[in-house]
Structure formats: C-alpha cells, structure tokens
Amino acid sequence: MASPAPLNTVAFEDAIAAFESGQREQLLAPLGAAVSAGSPDPRLWHLHGLVLRDLERREDALPSLRKAAQMAPTSAKIAHSLARTLYEAGLPSIDAYGQALRLAPGDTEIVAGLTSAFVADGEPQTAISGLERIVSRSPHWVVGHILLSKLRWAQGDRDDFTRSFADAIRQTPQNLDLWHQWIIALTHAERWEQVLEVIGNGRAALGEQGVFSISEAIVYAERGETEKAEAHFAPFADLQDGTVQVRRVRHYLRSGRPEEADRIISEWTRKPDAFMFWPYASIAWRMLGDPRWDWLEGDARFVGVYDIADRLPPLDQLAETMRKLHTLSGQPLEQSLRGGTQTDGDIFLHIDPVLIQLREAIRATVAEHVAKLPARDESHPLLGPPREQIRFSGAWSVWLRERGFHANHVHPAGWISSALYIVLPPDLGEEGAGYLTLGDSTSSTLDVGLPPFRTVEPKPGRLALFPSYMWHGTRPFGKGERITVAFDVAVPSGN
C-alpha cells in the first residue's frame, strides 16, 4: 500500500476541519508522513502533536510539539500546547508555561495552567501568591477567584479562604457572577451563615436576583428548615434548570416526601440532565419500596470486586509514586474526602511507566467487568451506553490519615467509578473500619436513614467498580494511612 501523501500548506485548513470534527485517527497517518518528511510548516508539527495527545500518546506528542515550538518561537498557541501536554504527562512544566505567558501575558487560561504547574511541582504557596497578585489587578477575573479560594482551602485556610471575592466586589459591586461564585464557594464549605450574609449584601448592591433567592432556598433546605425552604423554593417549581430541581428533590427527600421527589425525578430522567437525578431516584425508590430500585441498582453484577495485584506494578513502588504526587497539605474544597489529601490533575495522563502499567491493567479489568454486565437497556444509565471502548474521564489518588473517610457522594459525570486499594491501615476489619459502603445515606447531609445495601472489604490490590450514580463512601479508620487510586470511566458515546 502506498504511503499517504504529506499534507501541504494548502491542505492545512482541511486538516484543521477534520481535527475539529473529531477525525483524529484518520489524520494520524498523513500528519505523520508530513512530519517524517521534514515539513517546514510548524502548524503541521503542532497538529500532529495535538492528535497524538488526544489519542492518549503524550510521550509521542511531545517531540512534535517541541519541534513546532522551536520552529515558531513567537506562537503563544503552540507554546501553550507544549506546556499543557508537559503538565498532563506529569513532567515539569513551569518554564514552558512561563514562556507561553510571556507570549500572551493576558491569557487567563495560561495563568490557570501555570497555577496547576506550580501545585504539581510542590509549590502551592507560589501559586497562591501569583493568583493573589493577578486577581488584585484584574478583580473581574472570576475563575481566578475560584482557583484561589480552592487553593487556600486545600492549604488549610478555613476562615477566610474566599476573601478575594470580597476584595473584588468592593471594586466591582455590580458583577453578579462574582457574587454567585462567592456563594457557591461558601456553599461547598457549608458555611451557611456566611452564605446568607453574602446574599443580603448582594441584594443591597444589586436588588433581588434569582440566584440570591435560589441560594437562600438551598441554605434553608440543607439546614433542615423545611417551612422556610418550601416558601423560597415555591417560585421556582417550574424552572427548567436541572441544578435547581435537584435541590428541590433533595429538599423533598430530606423532609420525608419521596413521592414529591419522584414526581420531579420522573420528569428529569427523560432529559439531558438525567445524570444529576439518577442518584436521587435510587434514594426515592428505596424509601418508597418501589421495584424500580431493583432495576436501577439491585443487580449484583452492577458492582464488581477484583483482586488485581498480580497485574499491577509492585504495590510499594506504586505507593511511593502516589505519595510524590500529593503536593497539597489538605483536602479539596469540593470533594468528599475528610482528613487527607487528593492529587491534582489526571494521573492517568502521566507518562511514568508505573502509571501507564497501572492504567492499562485497570482498563483491561474494567473491560472484563463491562463484558459481564446484563444486556443493553437504552433507558438505563449504566446499561444504556455502547460498550466498545473504555476511556477515562479522570483519575486521582487519595491519601487518608488517622480517622480519615469519604462522605457519601456520587460522580454524576462518570459512567463507572472505582476504588483501588494500595496501602491500608492496620485496624481494617475492626467493625468495618475503612470499608467501602454502597447506598448509605445515614452519614451524609442527606440523611434519610437508609443503610448501605452492600459493603466492600478493602484489601491491597483490590479494585471495586460500581455505577457512578451509586451513592458510596467509606467508614473512618483509626491509626495509619490509606492510599487509593480512583477514577471515572467516561460515558461511552455512539451507537
């Protein structure tokens, strides 16, 4: 078979169109031929690197991206692609991001990337200081305030982690997005009195806004003030906003009205935002004794437990690799873990051979698990999608210390979620300490008295797989440490 003709300058626009339409595999051969022939066009080298990156071949992408950056040293776009790929690959990227920022000083996406690069390099305080300087100069940069509040929280600032929002609003009091994101940050931290205070100040500055009324309803609902929550939610009963309707569902479940919750759930599980509602369908149907729960979660094949230590790198080597990736000193603002740390970024993108072996062993195990699932049911959130390809939408490590645990939660953006145990504390097995619980709603902000319908005993090298919409958490343990790897399998697309 003849080799594909190298792309020339005229064909570049066609190649970009193909790239943007998702035709990565088809572009790989002609782009590879073009760079192998020594194309003088840095755009082709850049595009070749981007295709390889998107195909999870970052170690192959980097030479082309470096070549493109060498050929076009003033291109901020190419410099940014190189920096981002270095970061994703788990390689030092601060200098590369610095070069990209010098070429595009006002690019906030590059600033955000540089922040992540400092965190990955074990310099979170440098990242915080840099963000503080930037948001003080650009108070309208809402994403910067969000990043800064998350970093401050993760580094142990529990009392004043959102202070940059207050500073910015003194300069731009009419910026509703700033008010909204300030409220969201405080809501994640469950600082209900502060949320109400911000809402009051926001009304004084801007008058009544829907976001203030909805946020006030959420506060009363989460605090269990049923009558106040009812009154504040009432005007939004017909609002076509999934995030608001999920909060109404939580309110009805918490106040012991699963029938009311189910009416909303039944409507929204037929819409694109259904992924947000399936976890609450599980709770409502269990509360009602509805047989639909068996359809949704009752099949034992939905949960898989696999002992795969023989497929993995040596567990002590894996543990040491994970410890080096934990560069923050505290727990993330928006996550479920309590008493520990979580890695930043996606560890399955790294090109460390240890992590590649880990990822591919997990991919093979997930494929085996998926092959055991019941037949496709297009109305079912787990059984509906096609099953031809296993792709990940995120992977991270959690390092819990004494008394650490995970609050009950779900992963609404995933298809299948997980826990892989690397290091475990010595007291596991004592009254279920450290066990994974599935379906437990007795120790969360949505406590409706439902015990777990299944528990999983942790063991080193054991992988637990379960639907991403399934409520899961862990029980606290005593002394020692617990290191795990977790990931989400992306919802497959296609027919």
Overall average pLDDT of the 150-155 stretch: 94
pLDDT at 484 over 70: yes
- Based on the fold, state whether residues 97 and 240 are members of the same structural domain: no
The CA-based dihedral angle spanning residues 72, 77, 81, 82, taken in that order and rounded to the nearest 10 degrees: 30
Element (H, E) at 488: strand 482-489
Give Cβ neighbours of residue 50 (< 8 Å, ≥ 6 apart).
19, 61, 65, 81
In this prediction, residue 377 carries a pLDDT of 97
* pLDDT bracket for residue 494 (50, 70, 90): low
Residue 147 covered by a domain: no
Please say whether the beta carbons of 57 and 27 come within 8 A.
no
Residue 75 covered by a domain: yes
Choice between 444 and 73, residue whose per-residue pLDDT is larger: 73
> What pTM, to 2 d.p., does this model score?
0.91
Element (H, E) at 227: helix 226-233
In this prediction, residue 173 carries a pLDDT of 96
In this prediction, residue 153 carries a pLDDT of 94
Least confident of 161-165, 200-204, 326-330, 453-457: 326-330
* pLDDT bracket for residue 338 (50, 70, 90): confident
- Based on the fold, state whether residues 108 and 37 are members of the same structural domain: yes
* pLDDT bracket for residue 444 (50, 70, 90): low
- Based on the fold, state whether residues 260 and 175 are members of the same structural domain: yes
- Based on the fold, state whether residues 293 and 309 are members of the same structural domain: no
Q: Which two tokens stand for residue 367?
A: 């494929």
**Residue 200: domain span:** 163-298
- Based on the fold, state whether residues 122 and 271 are members of the same structural domain: no
Residue 2 covered by a domain: no
In this prediction, residue 297 carries a pLDDT of 97
In this prediction, residue 291 carries a pLDDT of 97
- Based on the fold, state whether residues 287 and 305 are members of the same structural domain: no
Residue 31 covered by a domain: yes
- Based on the fold, state whether residues 417 and 479 are members of the same structural domain: yes
- Based on the fold, state whether residues 267 and 231 are members of the same structural domain: yes
Give Cβ neighbours of residue 147 (< 8 Å, ≥ 6 apart).
112, 115, 131
In this prediction, residue 330 carries a pLDDT of 81
- One-letter identity of residue 263: R
* pLDDT bracket for residue 454 (50, 70, 90): very high
Residue 246 covered by a domain: yes
Residue 52 covered by a domain: yes
Please say whether the beta carbons of 161 and 149 come within 8 A.
yes
Calpha distance 103→374 (Å, rounded)? 53
CATH for 432? 2.60.120.620
Task: Count Cβ atoms below 10 Å from residue 411 Cβ, excluding itself.
Answer: 24
**Which of 471, 413, 443 has the alpha carbon at shortest distance from 283?**
471
Calpha distance 13→159 (Å, rounded)? 52
Residue 322 covered by a domain: yes
Last residue of a domain, one of 298, 319, 347: 298
- Based on the fold, state whether residues 130 and 255 are members of the same structural domain: no
Calpha distance 489→391 (Å, rounded)? 6
Q: If you ran DSSP here, which 8-state letter would residue 495 be given? A: -
- Based on the fold, state whether residues 196 and 260 are members of the same structural domain: yes
Last residue of a domain, one of 298, 320, 352: 298
Q: If you ran DSSP here, which 8-state letter would residue 83 be given? A: H
> If you search the block for the tokens 């051969």, which residue do you land on?
29
Q: Cα 392 to the chain's mean position, in Å? A: 11
Please say whether the beta carbons of 430 and 397 come within 8 A.
no
| Whole-number average pLDDT of the chain | 92
E strand spans, 221-307: 304-307
Overall average pLDDT of the 456-481 stretch: 93
- One-letter identity of residue 111: V
* pLDDT bracket for residue 495 (50, 70, 90): very low
Domain count, the chain: 3
Phi-psi region of 22 (alpha: psi -120 to 50; beta: other; left: phi over 0): left
In this prediction, residue 3 carries a pLDDT of 45
Last residue of a domain, one of 240, 272, 298: 298
Q: Which two tokens stand for residue 294?
A: 């068996």
- Based on the fold, state whether residues 284 and 304 are members of the same structural domain: no
Give phi and psi for 416, each to the nearest 5.
-130, 135
The CA-based dihedral angle spanning residues 84, 88, 89, 91, taken in that order and rounded to the nearest 10 degrees: 70
- Based on the fold, state whether residues 275 and 373 are members of the same structural domain: no
CATH for 58? 1.25.40.10
Q: Summarize pLDDT for 2-44 with one digit per residue, the tens.
A: 444 455 544 777 788 888 877 888 888 889 998 999 999 999 9
Residue 1 covered by a domain: no
In this prediction, residue 366 carries a pLDDT of 98
